[in-house]
Every structure is written in structure tokens, then in C-alpha cells.
Amino acid sequence: MTCAACAASVQRLLSEVPGVVSVEVSFGARQATLHLAGPPVEPARLAAALSGSGYSIPGAGSAGSGSLREAAAFAAAAELGERRAARRGLLVALAFGVPALASEWLGADPRIALGLNSAVVGWAGAPLLVAGARAAARRKPDMNTLIALGALAAIAIGVLGVFGPERFHAAAHHGHAAALILIFALLGRWLESGARLRAGDALQALIDLTPQFVRVLRRGAEVEVPAEQASIGSLAIVRPGERIPVDGTVFIGASELDEAVLTGESRPRAVEAGAAVRAGAMNGTGTLQISIERVGEETAVARIARAVQAARGSRAPVQLLVDRISAAFVPVVLAVAGSTLLAWWWIDGDIAGAASRAITVLVVACPCALGLATPTAIVAATGAAARMGVLVRDAEVLERLVRGDTLVVDKTGTLTTGRPRLSALHRTGAANARSFDDGDLLRLAAAVEMSSEQPLGRALVDAADARGIAYSRAADFRAEPGRGVHGRVAELAVWLGSPQAAAAVLAAKGRVDPELDRLVDQVSNRGASPVVMLCDEVACAVFELRDAARPEAAPALRELEAQGLSIHVCSGDHRGAVAAVAAELGLATWRAEMTPEQKGAHVSALRSQGRRVLMVGDGINDAPALAAADVGIAVGGGADVALETADAVLLHANLARLPRVLELARRMRTTIRANLAWAFGYNVIAVPLAAGALSAWSAWSPSPGLAAAAMAGSSLIVVLNSLRLARRAS
């Protein structure tokens, strides 16, 4: 593929293959995504569908790994090949075209200039001519067709001027227009391909983060193996100054990791034994032994890269309108060029002058500017968002972000640090009756909560670890999102959860516990979060946990409010804890003690009122609300189910990135509109000018050479305007 129109042609051809329901083709990624009905379609059949139109699938019929690294390398190689081919053609065109122009200026024999210009058309312009002919043959004329027709018509007029009847001799100079058309077309392609290469740098940078080899311990010796061959559970050795090659947990060692390229967080993170690490981070001064959990394509950075690749190939809704217009654009230009030729020949009786105007119409029109207006902005914006530490699933997510007017945000782990600490432990009379001391209660709580992903549960595990309490994993563990967790420790059934869920459990047994209510009220009145523990369905402890608000939360929320968003806090935590955090952050609208279903229902209710809701959360209990929102935004440190449900992911739990990505989405929308306004406006003005719209007032009309320069510049302006998104984001 050589342009955006090629991608549209490939998409149409593949969609006609039996068994293919729909196709999405990304010109930038040089990749087609097929949605099939039934069994997989053989690559050879897909290749056959394309071969008649001059396209091919590299490696069709052979088994490739299909890895992201290979796909990105292929796209980069294809883009680089385009750039090199354009550069070679440009140098050849200049080598013959410049002497041709010089010979005309010096008054040399016109046959010399014609021969040099013919070399430009037949040699440097051959790839463009072939591509244009193929597009015309498949009845989908494109940019290459217009360039080819313009160049061939100009050289044909030049041949008539030199060798034809005397009345055509005045047109001999038109031969140089063919050379100028191709020189400017190739120059534009060369510059444009370089700009597109820069637009894809974000994806390549993510892929390059993960080393392809891992140094592992085998029988006490260090062995370097390909990353895909490293065994889960084995130990990877990472020395100072090296990148982490795997996802895993530090087994031995301590260091600081620079994760800026992954999360956008500039401060290094201290790690020690037990800390989770991700591939792509740069190790500091310590040597680490890492227990391997994910390698190769399964690492977080590989999943991030796949998300960026999918997003950069996605299509914004406005692209559907552009596609319909682009499909009719070239036929309309051909009709205008033919009408221009006939009209001016009839008006002036000068076939050479009429042909010059028709050639100018063909060359000045630029459908590629229309085709590139949206995709280049999407590629630049998604790459810029990734460098900020924000992933979006597709371009439509960015468009929906712009339209958002209400932000629903979870408390724990989103507005707060997500690292609550145990500040007090309150035993009940039932615990005292069983002779449970604080250590016994913490041991039971940690045994159950060590299997939980909730921050409040991790706080109890951390408290047990800090006190040196030994515990083992509970049996029959089960989590009920928004309600609690339970398991069996020895012969004791242990349940932990929110006060309202505990009350429901007791009520189901026909019990009421005034002492429990009193302890919960005391904890919540102090602005802390109470966690209740039941032992054999009897309340035995209330844990008092405190979670500080994130330092960046308040300024980020003020900025979001300044951008016009109404902010609602929805939390499953107790009222007192939610009220304390909301007051600290200056938020008036909040809800507490909400189940996951209630969170989702609240988001749905806001949408039914006509609001466009953005939801930010990090836990399992946020998944229904994330799915119900117009845009669900998961915090990257949260549960996998939240990340899978969300439309966007903040790779680092830092709300300060949210106003930035909203601003980026607005700039992307503005850039797309500007690109489309330029592409439409340019063609609406340039084509009539080329057809002679000013002839009633001025003798001036654009030449084919000037038209070629304008055409090349039109596409380049669109690409460079899109690249401003990446530069401003960085």
C-alpha cells in the first residue's frame, strides 16, 4: 500500500472474500484485521483476492509467528521502503528534470528537454504510473491515477509540440510540466513518509522496551535465553542499568526502577523482595533476582503495545463521512478535468492551452489530504497518550472523552493512595469470650485476605507482616465483590467485609449486634474505614483503617471541574470515610456504601438524564460502572477485570494525567477538524482555480508545475499538523 486510498481498496477487496464479515485496514500499521463468520479463511485465498489489483500479503501461505514485534517491524520496513523508493525516484527525477528545465531556459533544441523529461516519466515516475493504472483497472481511481494522467497528458502534449503539426509547437514546453508533477509528487511522498515514521515512534519505543533475551538461573549458573523460552517461576537476573525483561516479583535484592516510559511517572520507585515489577522498567543500582510470572507477548508492556497498535489503526466515526466523499472525489475530478478540456477548447480553440488547464485540474486535486486527515491525527494522539501513560482502546474513545460532562470516580485506590493502614483494632465481647487477642485476629484476617485484591484487605496482610505474625492461606476462599470475602482457617469460618454487608449476613440469621453497630459508628465518625470480621457468623472484630487522599487528587479535580465536568464520588466504603475524603478534596456530591450493582445503576441513571459519563475506578467492584459509562477509565494498578472492562487505562494511579488526556482528546478533535477543513477547503478552491475560474478577471492561471507543488504540500500540511499533537503532548 502506498497511500490511504490503497488501504480503502484493500479493505473493499478483502471484504468480498466469502467468510469475511468485516475488515479494518490500517495504512499506518500496514495491517488488516478481519472479522470472520465460521472457520478461519486461508491466507492464500486472501492473497488471491488482492493479487489481481497489485497487492500482496507477505508470507501468505507460510506460518509466521505473527508477533507484535514482527508486525511493527514489517510496518516500519514498509514505510522505510516507501521513503527510500521516493528518495531514489526524487533523485532520478531531479537528475533529469533540472537539466531539462535548464535546456529550455537556455533555448536549446526542444528535443533535448523532451528526452530528459521523458526519462523522468518513464524511469522515476514508473512506480506512480503503474500504481495509477492498477487503481484505474480496478475501477477505484486514486491519487496515483490523477498524478499518472497528469504526467502522461503533459508529456503527450510536449511530444505533440515537438513532433506534431505546427499549430501544436507552442505547447512544446508542456513537457517540463510532467517532470515537475513527478518531482513534487515524489518530494511530497518522501517528506510525508518521514513524518509518518515519526508518528509511529511511540509504538516502536514500547516494543523496544522489552529485551529479547533473559538471563536466568539454571542449576546455579546464569544462562541467557530468548525471552519466549524463559520458564514461568524461574529466576531472572537483572543487573544495574539493565531493563527488566519480564513481569514478575522481586525474589532477592533491592533497587530503584525508572518506570517513566511505562507510566509517565518521573520519580524512580524503590523495590525490594516481594515487590511486583514489569518488563520495560530500567533497573537502578542494585542487582535483582526476579521470579518470572509473564514473558514475551504476555508482559504488560507487550499488552500496552498491542493496545497502541489497535488504537492507531482504529477509525473515528467522522471517517465514515470522509470515506463516502473520498469514494466520489476522483471520479468528480476526472469529470471536471474532461469538462475543462472541452470547454476551453471550445472557448479559445487552443487545444494546448485547454489541455494545460485540464492537466492542472488533475494534478492540483488532492484526495490523499482527505484520506490522511483523520488517521494521522489518530496515530499521533494515541501515541502521545501512550507517552503520557494513558492507553485508549480506539479513536472513538477519544471522541467520547471530549463529549463527557460528568465524572464518576471511585474513592479507594483512585482518590486515595490505595494503601490504607491499620490504625486500630477493636475486639468484641465474642472475641474476648474466645480468648482471641489482637495477634489471633490479625492472623485470621491475613489468612483470608492474602487471596484478596482489595486494598483494605492488603492493609490487614501488611499489618500482620509488620508485627511478624505467621499465617497460612485460608481454604475455600471466596470473594463477593462489594460484600466481602470469606474462607476457612482450621475449623473456623472467617468472613470479612463492610459493616452493611456484615449486618445483612447477621440479619439473614435473625441476629442484631448493638455492640458491632456502636464500634462501627465510632470508627466511621473518626473518618476511618471500618472492616468487620465474623467468626462462625459472630462479630469478633472491627478493624479501623485509614487511607490518605492522593496529593495530586485535589488539583486534578479542580482542573477537571474547570474543564466543565461535574464530579461524583461513588464508593463502597462507609459513609464516614467517604465524607472525610470528599470534604478534604472539596467535593460536594458523594455516595457511600454502594454495591457494584448500585454503582453501575447510578452511572446508568446519570446517562438516562442525558449526561455523558466518564467513570474512573480500579477495583473489581468498579467493573459494572466502568462498563455502564460512556467511557470507563481504569487505574492501571487495579484489578485485571477492571482493566479488561475499561475503554481507557491510566497506567499509573495518578489523576493528574486525566485532565491532560482530556485536553489531548480535545486537541485531536480540533486537529481532525482543521485537517478536514484544510483538505476540503484546499480542493474546493484549488480545483476551480485550475479550471480557469479567474479567467474573467485575470489572465493568470496556475501551471501544472505549481499545481504539483500545491498537491504535494496539501498532504504534507495535514501530516505535519497532526504531528503537532505528539510534540505538544511531549
- 3 state SS for 170-221: HHHHHHHHHHHHHHHHHHHHHHHHHHHHHHCHHHHHHHHCCCCEEEEEECCE
With bands split at pLDDT 50, 70 and 90, how would you rate the model's confidence at 266?
Answer: low
Neighbours of 262 (CB within 10 A): 24
Backbone angles phi, psi at 484, to 5 degrees: 170, -175
DSSP element (H, E) containing 129? helix 126-137
Instruction: Decide if pLDDT at 40 tops 70.
Output: yes
Q: Which of 372, 316, 31 is nearest to 192 (CA)?
A: 372
Q: Is the same domain home to 490 and 463? A: yes
* Candidate list 142, 247, 394, 410, residue with the active-site label: 410
With bands split at pLDDT 50, 70 and 90, how would you rate the model's confidence at 524?
Answer: confident
Contact between 266 and 213 under an 8 Å Cβ cutoff? The reply is no
Domain-located, residue 377: no
Residues of the chain above pLDDT 70, percent: 85
Q: What would the DSSP string read from start to end of 583-637?
A: HHHT---EE-S--HHHHHHHHHHHHHTT--EEEEE-SGGGHHHHHHSSEEEEETT
- Looking at the DSSP assignment, which residues form a beta bridge with residue 549? 416
Instruction: Decide if pLDDT at 294 tops 80.
Output: yes
Q: Is the same domain home to 483 and 575? A: no
Range with the poorest average pLDDT among 180-194, 324-338, 669-683, 684-698: 180-194
Contact between 489 and 444 under an 8 Å Cβ cutoff? The reply is yes
Cα(350)–Cα(119) distance, integer angstroms: 27
Domain-located, residue 673: no
Question: What is the structure's pLDDT at 479?
Answer: 84
Contact between 286 and 344 under an 8 Å Cβ cutoff? The reply is no
- Exposure string of 40-56, with b = 16+ CB inside 10 Å and e = fewer, is ebeeeebbebbeebebe
Q: Is the same domain home to 429 and 523? A: yes
DSSP element (H, E) containing 247? strand 247-252
Contact between 232 and 248 under an 8 Å Cβ cutoff? The reply is no
0.85 cut: is pTM over it?
no
Supply the CATH number for residue 409's domain. 3.40.50.1000
Q: Is the same domain home to 407 and 554? A: yes
Question: What is the structure's pLDDT at 487?
Answer: 92
Q: What would the DSSP string read from start to end of 547-580?
A: -PBPTTHHHHHHHHHHTT-EEEEE-SS-HHHHHH
**Chosen domain end from 298, 317, 349:** 298
Q: Which of 578, 579, 569, 574 is nearest to 599 (CA)?
A: 569
Question: What is the structure's pLDDT at 639?
Answer: 41
Instruction: Decide if pLDDT at 712 tops 80.
Output: no
Contact between 408 and 568 under an 8 Å Cβ cutoff? The reply is yes
Average pLDDT over residues 693-711: 79
**Chosen domain end from 298, 319, 351:** 298
Q: Which of 10, 13, 315, 327 is nearest to 141 (CA)?
A: 327
Supply the CATH number for residue 234's domain. 2.70.150.10
**More confident: 420 or 602:** 602
Q: Is the same domain home to 425 and 542? A: yes
Contact between 220 and 245 under an 8 Å Cβ cutoff? The reply is no
Average pLDDT over residues 261-271: 70
Size of the chain in residues: 730
CA distances from 409 to 169, 441, 568 (A): 76, 33, 6
Domain-located, residue 335: no
Mean pLDDT in the chain?
Answer: 81
Question: What is the structure's pLDDT at 24?
Answer: 75
Tell me, yes or no, if 410 is annotated catalytic. Answer: yes
Q: Which residues contact 21 (CB under 8 A, 6 or more apart)?
A: 35, 36, 37
Question: What is the structure's pLDDT at 619?
Answer: 58
Q: Is the same domain home to 441 and 540? A: yes
With bands split at pLDDT 50, 70 and 90, how would you rate the model's confidence at 641?
Answer: very low
Domain-located, residue 445: yes
Average pLDDT over residues 216-233: 84
Q: Which of 126, 128, 104, 106 is nearest to 115 (CA)?
A: 104
What domain count does the chain have?
Answer: 4
**Chosen domain end from 275, 298, 321:** 298
Which grid cell is 689? 482555480
Domain-located, residue 443: yes
CA distances from 482 to 165, 578, 658 (A): 90, 15, 26
Question: What is the structure's pLDDT at 65?
Answer: 47
Supply the CATH number for residue 41's domain. 3.30.70.100
Instruction: Decide if pLDDT at 642 tops 50.
Output: no
Range with the poorest average pLDDT among 8-17, 565-574, 593-602, 663-672: 8-17
Domain-located, residue 26: yes
Which grid cell is 334? 476526472
Instruction: Decide if pLDDT at 638 tops 50.
Output: no
With bands split at pLDDT 50, 70 and 90, how would you rate the model's confidence at 63?
Answer: very low
**More confident: 33 or 659:** 659
Domain of residue 47: give its range: 4-63
Question: What is the structure's pLDDT at 460?
Answer: 92
With bands split at pLDDT 50, 70 and 90, how would you rate the model's confidence at 620?
Answer: low
Question: What is the structure's pLDDT at 127?
Answer: 87
Average pLDDT over residues 532-545: 92
DSSP element (H, E) containing 542? strand 538-546
Question: What is the structure's pLDDT at 533?
Answer: 94
CA distances from 587 to 12, 170, 354, 395, 554 (A): 51, 79, 70, 31, 9
Residue type, 691: A
**More confident: 89 or 78:** 89
Q: Is the same domain home to 472 and 405? A: no
Q: Which residues contact 586 (CB under 8 A, 6 or more apart)?
A: 554, 557, 558
DSSP element (H, E) containing 639? none
With bands split at pLDDT 50, 70 and 90, how would you rate the model's confidence at 147?
Answer: confident
Question: What is the structure's pLDDT at 435?
Answer: 87
Q: Is the same domain home to 489 and 571? A: no
Q: Is the same domain home to 490 and 435? A: yes
Cα(431)–Cα(445) distance, integer angstroms: 13
Average pLDDT over residues 430-450: 90
Supply the CATH number for residue 483's domain. 3.40.1110.10
Instruction: Decide if pLDDT at 66 tops 60.
Output: no
Contact between 695 and 344 under an 8 Å Cβ cutoff? The reply is no
How do beta strands 390-392 and 631-635 pair?
unpaired
**More confident: 553 or 312:** 553
Question: What is the structure's pLDDT at 541?
Answer: 93
Range with the poorest average pLDDT among 177-186, 331-340, 580-589: 177-186
How do beta strands 288-294 and 631-635 pair?
unpaired
Backbone angles phi, psi at 220, to 5 degrees: 85, -5
Domain-located, residue 192: no
Range with the poorest average pLDDT among 150-154, 189-193, 523-527: 189-193
Can you count the helices (H) and strands (E) in the chain?
Answer: 26, 24
Average pLDDT over residues 665-680: 89
CA distances from 651 to 209, 301, 486, 633, 658 (A): 15, 10, 30, 10, 11
Q: Is the same domain home to 537 and 591? A: no
Average pLDDT over residues 15-31: 76
Backbone angles phi, psi at 585, to 5 degrees: -95, 0
- Looking at the DSSP assignment, which residues form a beta bridge with residue 289? 237, 252
Residues of the chain above pLDDT 90, percent: 15
With bands split at pLDDT 50, 70 and 90, how would you rate the model's confidence at 72?
Answer: low
Average pLDDT over residues 469-479: 89
Tell me the range of 15-19, 621-625, 668-672 where mean pLDDT is highest. Answer: 668-672
Contact between 202 and 308 under an 8 Å Cβ cutoff? The reply is yes
Range with the poorest average pLDDT among 111-125, 177-191, 284-298: 177-191
Domain-located, residue 473: yes
Question: What is the structure's pLDDT at 444?
Answer: 93
Range with the poorest average pLDDT among 173-177, 357-361, 534-538: 173-177
Backbone angles phi, psi at 36, to 5 degrees: -110, 150
Q: Is the same domain home to 233 and 282? A: yes
Three-state helix/strand/coil letters over 6-35: HHHHHHHHHHCCCCEEEEEEECCCCEEEEE
Q: Is the same domain home to 487 and 411? A: no
